[in-house]
A and B are shown apart, each in its own frame.
Chain A
Amino acid sequence: MDEEKLDLKNPFAGFNASLMNDDDIIRYWIKPHILFSRQALGVDLTGDIPVVLEGGRGTGKTMLLKFMSNEVTVKEYVAKHQTGHRFLEKTPYLAVYHRFDGPSLGSFVSRHTSEEAWETIFKHYLELVIGQKFTMMLSNLKRNRCFDLDPSRENELIIGVLKLVDPDCSYQVTDCSIEFATAFLQQRLDRVFDFINDSAISEGTKFSQHIVNSGRLIFGVPELALKVLPELCGKKIIILLDEYENLRLNQQKIVNTLVKHTKLPVTFRIGTRLRGFKTYDTLNEGEFLMEDADYRKIRFEDVLTAKKDSFRDLLRMIARRRLEQIREFGRKQIVDIEEILGELSYEDEALMIVFGRKMSRREVDEYPEEKYRTEAKHIQEIMDILKTKYHSDAEKTLSLLIDKQKPLFEMLNLLLLRRDYKPDQVERLFKAYVGKNKESPYYSKYRNLYDKNKVDLLFQLISLNKPRQKQYAGFSTFCMLSSGIIRNFLELCYQSFNIALFSDRESLIEGRQMPIQAQTEGAKIRAERYMDVIERIPEYGNEVKSLVRSLGAIFYSWQNDPVLSEPEVTYFCVDSTSLSDKARKILDSAAQWSVLQPKKPMKGKSATDPLFDVYALNHILAPYFGISYRLRGRIREFGRADLEALMFGTEEEKSKAIIRLSRHPFPGRTKTILDFVGKG
């Protein structure tokens, strides 16, 4: 093995945009056209109206916001044109990026300083931070020769900024660069930090600095820059604020006020996790942010997954960009992730389960019929039913209900027999379908039954053939496991490539399909890591984990229901208004971390029922629990007592709730389910 191969890097290493530098952002950035083409819906990412970008962890919000920042756009332009000279002519906007750092924001509170005082200090701090971002942007534009800044204009800018901070002072500034203003603002910020540090340990600490009023720098510096630098005329100035959910309630009110009363050309883009808004209120009594009037919202998962093909295309392009960066893959044009992962159809997987390995059609044909009938567990069960319930010529009837090339059809026939269909009814349905008799009502009925249940039939086949396990492999499966979260897809690829590069490196760089086992193993590792993340959720990690483990057990029980009364149960409904404050916060927390994904509310089954909130378990966890990754069957609504027991009840309460909500058609199943809850 030569050195080059030993150094082969995993193309999917590094998937957190927050940790990427500007060069990485440029290298890996793929413009998600589905997000940028929302103007028709009134959402313009580069337009006047503020936009809230809402999405779970890893959906790509940070990547998008960072890509829009002046640091990246200028760098990308200069890389392409070798100069920033005409950058301002080409760009419709200039943007500054700021991420709200959770731990820092938590320091804007102390026992001996009032909430009001902290509110004022935070406003002041935010002005200084964004003001400094603006001066840093001007430095960046100047450094890259996007405009010519003669000393007199530069002095005018500097004095202007200083006066915005402190209008009463008369500063004399000569022969200074714009960096002087940045340093000046940093000095002011340092005083805020001094106060934060002192007030944490001393009573009676006073903040004595001159306060910069809200909006003074945030709207004032762009206004000043436009006056001094006519080159900037007509440019939108976008403030990109990331991780808005980290702000405390009062801090959100401050930002909300700025958004509500934004002064063009300044506008905002706010990145937040789902349910990141603690309040929509502004600082003015009775005033609040109104969607559509004050801002437009994009919910990443919804937009990305609205068109299945668009999401698949986006993931394919993102993967291509990463594969191209690795010489071994790029040079040989092994850059199509769909080809690398391949597809594993349910039918092929069913054959693998029954025969214990991947089988070609011909191999299946040549497999001795007698041996198949005696070895295949599901065939044995069909035979048992025919013999015990119908006493007919079981052998003859059996031959009408089986086709060893199609174990899933055989499983469907078994399901119908379990549901007390008569053998001749099953045979009629099956015959119409395999005979492609499309005119027959039996044809469509059988097709519907098959389409509705095929994934669960696969799981049932697995349960009859233990220790065989579900495979989570193939490009389509990875797309579905991703749940609309780009990082999930990247991490699935990362883990699978890790395994494949270790065990099948040669075959991978020769362009052969990645082994199914490597993909499944990668998906399982990713699912386990995701479970670890749940533990780290601040404040409610234990409760969310308890809920998730219980849901895994409940959904697993429905999937193993021999008569499949509901197929592929992976979500639950609840009337959130009936829940305690704590339970609602736990659901919010689970949604913020994308462990549960809120879906469109559903009407209850009875006409008088209220709208129920719907929460789907993130499909990335499917390999952990061995359950489906599609949204299909619906079970009865969860009541408050049961849901809260699953979240924070005693072990006994939890067990009882799981049993109530699970499917237990056969005695003895309970133990299995409760054992399952203990997993992890």
Chain B
Amino acid sequence: MVRISGFCDSAQKLCSHFDSVDMFIAGISYEERYIRGYSLLCENGLQAREKILFYFNEVLATYNRTGDEARFDAAFAISSADKKLYVDLYDEINGLFMFRRYLKENSDKFLNKNIIIDFSVMVKPYFFLLMKHLSSINTKKLGFLYTEPDTYTSLTRGAMATRDIPGYSGKRALTKKDALAILLGFEGNRAVAVYNEINPDVTIPINGFPSYKPEFKDISIMKNKELLMDEEIFKNLRFAPANDPFQTRDALLELYLDISGEYNLSIAPLGTKPMALGGCFFAMEQPDCRVIYPYPQEYLPKSSKGWRNSWIYVTELTESNSSGNA
């Protein structure tokens, strides 16, 4: 059993939490914020000794422009010490198997090292699996870097299938009823898709509040009106800060302690990525809970514009024998 503790702080203060960075992990994207975390690292004088970059094939193929890869290489100052993993955005299992293989062959690069993951532009199933793999080794310090976008545009298109995120199927007791906690995002259709797949006995929507921008909390309510029009669901509405995974984890834990005697709990991380990371921390600590995700037909390449604040989430993973259940 894993226990995850930590805190969040402005990424401007990176150097007060890390004296060095041994490994920097990030992904490429056409979102403008993709490089912001790396820039902050450099501004703080924390040049990563090595980098692992997920080069998403779909991103490279989007515009089919030669030279794009070189653009990303230059942005991340890729050197021979770094590792580029060419992976499919839609195949997180294989992508993370490639990562795992690298991890196994180079465990010394991770063991007792300072590692920072910029998950700002990674799709959610990726960092859920990344977390699973990283939890299997003893790192010195594990930081998650996140940059808020200034605005969102269209995020995804169509629905492929609603599935458990691999490794997060939980343990369903047939004697219990089903509860679904939905971390609300801007795509109400996807929330309804998950809800219809699970057919939960009780649904708990969790809205990101405080949000990055004041209007975002209202937008997510409006976008999820089809779900929230059900008064039984609306009355269960809870809140967790949009940019603090630890508080999201705590909100989920509080819910879990309330209901786990009677309900199997599934969570659908559709809100902000820090909220999703909080869902990931929670699911790692409570492995009987399930994480379900509506995989889209397409992740749209430019899903956000600009950037705002950047955050560092410093974590410590410890093995624990108790479930944390009261």
Contact = CB atoms under 8 A, between A and B. Distances in A.
Given A19-B199, A102-B162, A186-B174, A536 B192 contact: yes
Contact of B174 (A103, A107, A129): A129
Given A193-B171, A201-B100, A535-B158, A110 B166 contact: yes
Given A111-B97, A201-B133, 11 more contacts: A13-B230, A13-B231, A103-B197, A104-B164, A107-B169, A111-B93, A136-B175, A189-B174, A535-B159, A538-B162, A542-B157
B159 A536 contact: yes
B72 interface: no
Given A21-B201, A111-B97, A197-B169, A106 B159 contact: no
B189 interface: yes
A203 B103 CA distance: 14
Given A21-B201, A102-B197, A532-B226, A193 B159 contact: no
21 contacts: A21-B201, A101-B198, A103-B197, A103-B198, A103-B292, A107-B166, A193-B170, A194-B171, A197-B168, A197-B287, A198-B167, A201-B100, A201-B167, A532-B189, A535-B189, A536-B192, A538-B160, A539-B160, A539-B161, A542-B157, A542-B297
Contacts of A200: 93, 166-167, 169
Contacts of B163: 103, 106-107
B169 A196 contact: yes
A582 interface: no
B174 A132 contact: yes
B96 interface: yes
Interface string A513-555: 0000000000000000100100111110110000000000000
Contact of A99 (B157, B196, B199, B231): B199
Contacts of A13: 230-231
B94 interface: yes
A13 B93 CA distance: 41
A132 B166 CA distance: 25
Contact of A186 (B161, B173, B201): B173
B193 interface: yes
B132 interface: yes
Nearest to B171: A193
A190 interface: yes
Interface string A199-226: 0110100000000000000000000000
3 nearest A-B residue pairs (beta carbon): A200-B166, A18-B199, A200-B167
A129 B198 CA distance: 17
Interface string A419-438: 00000000000000000000
B129 to A, nearest CB: 7
A103 B164 contact: yes
B174 A529 contact: no
A559 interface: no
Contacts of A133: 174
Nearest to B133: A201
Contacts of A99: 199
Contacts of A201: 96, 100, 129, 132-133, 166-167
Contacts of A21: 201
Nearest to A132: B174
B166 A539 contact: no
Interface string B130-170: 00110000000000000000000000011111111011111
A197 B94 CA distance: 15
Contacts of A37: none
A536 B167 contact: no
Interface in A8-44: 13, 16, 18-19, 21
Interface in A155-204: 182, 186, 189-190, 193-194, 196-198, 200-201, 203
B172 interface: yes
Interface string A125-168: 00001001100100000000000000000000000000000000
B164 A190 contact: no
A132 B173 CA distance: 10
Interface string B71-115: 000000000000000000000011011001000000000000000
Contacts of B174: 129, 132-133, 136, 186, 189
Interface of B: 93-94, 96-97, 100, 129, 132-133, 157-164, 166-175, 189-190, 192-193, 196-201, 226, 230-231, 287, 292, 297
Interface of B is mostly: mixed
Contacts of B200: 19
Nearest to B287: A197
B320 to A, nearest CB: 18
Nearest to B195: A19
A277 to B, nearest CB: 19
B95 to A, nearest CB: 12
A136 B175 CA distance: 8
A157 B230 CA distance: 44
B167 A529 contact: no
A19 B163 CA distance: 19
Contacts of B168: 197
A539 B193 CA distance: 13
A669 to B, nearest CB: 31
A354 B162 CA distance: 50
A203 B160 contact: no
B255 to A, nearest CB: 19
A197 B129 CA distance: 11
Contacts of A132: 174-175
Contacts of B190: 536
Contacts of A197: 167-170, 287
Given A536-B192, A542-B297, A106 B164 contact: yes
B159 A541 contact: yes
Contacts of A189: 171-172, 174
A536 B189 contact: yes
A536 B96 CA distance: 28
A541 B168 CA distance: 26
Contact of B172 (A193, A194, A529, A538): A193
Contact of B197 (A101, A193, A537): A101
A504 B230 CA distance: 22
Contacts of B100: 201
A129 B157 CA distance: 36
Interface in A78-127: 99, 101-104, 106-107, 110-111
Contact of B158 (A110, A111, A186, A541): A541
A129 B173 CA distance: 10
B123 to A, nearest CB: 17
B210 to A, nearest CB: 30
Contacts of B189: 532, 535-536
Contacts of B201: 19, 21
B169 A193 contact: yes
A70 to B, nearest CB: 14
Contacts of A198: 167
Contacts of B167: 197-198, 200-201
B294 to A, nearest CB: 8
Contacts of A186: 173-175
Q: Could you say which of B170, B174, B175, B200 has the most chain A C-beta atoms within 10 Å of its C-beta?
A: B174
Contacts of B175: 132, 136, 182, 186
Contacts of B173: 186
Given A16-B199, A18-B199, A104 B158 contact: no
Nearest to A183: B175
B228 to A, nearest CB: 14
B288 to A, nearest CB: 8
Contacts of B133: 201
B97 A203 contact: yes
Contacts of B297: 539, 541-542
Contact of A190 (B96, B171, B196, B292): B171
B94 A104 contact: no
Contacts of B159: 535-539, 541
B93 to A, nearest CB: 6
Contact of A104 (B132, B169, B230): B169
A447 B6 CA distance: 81
B61 to A, nearest CB: 19
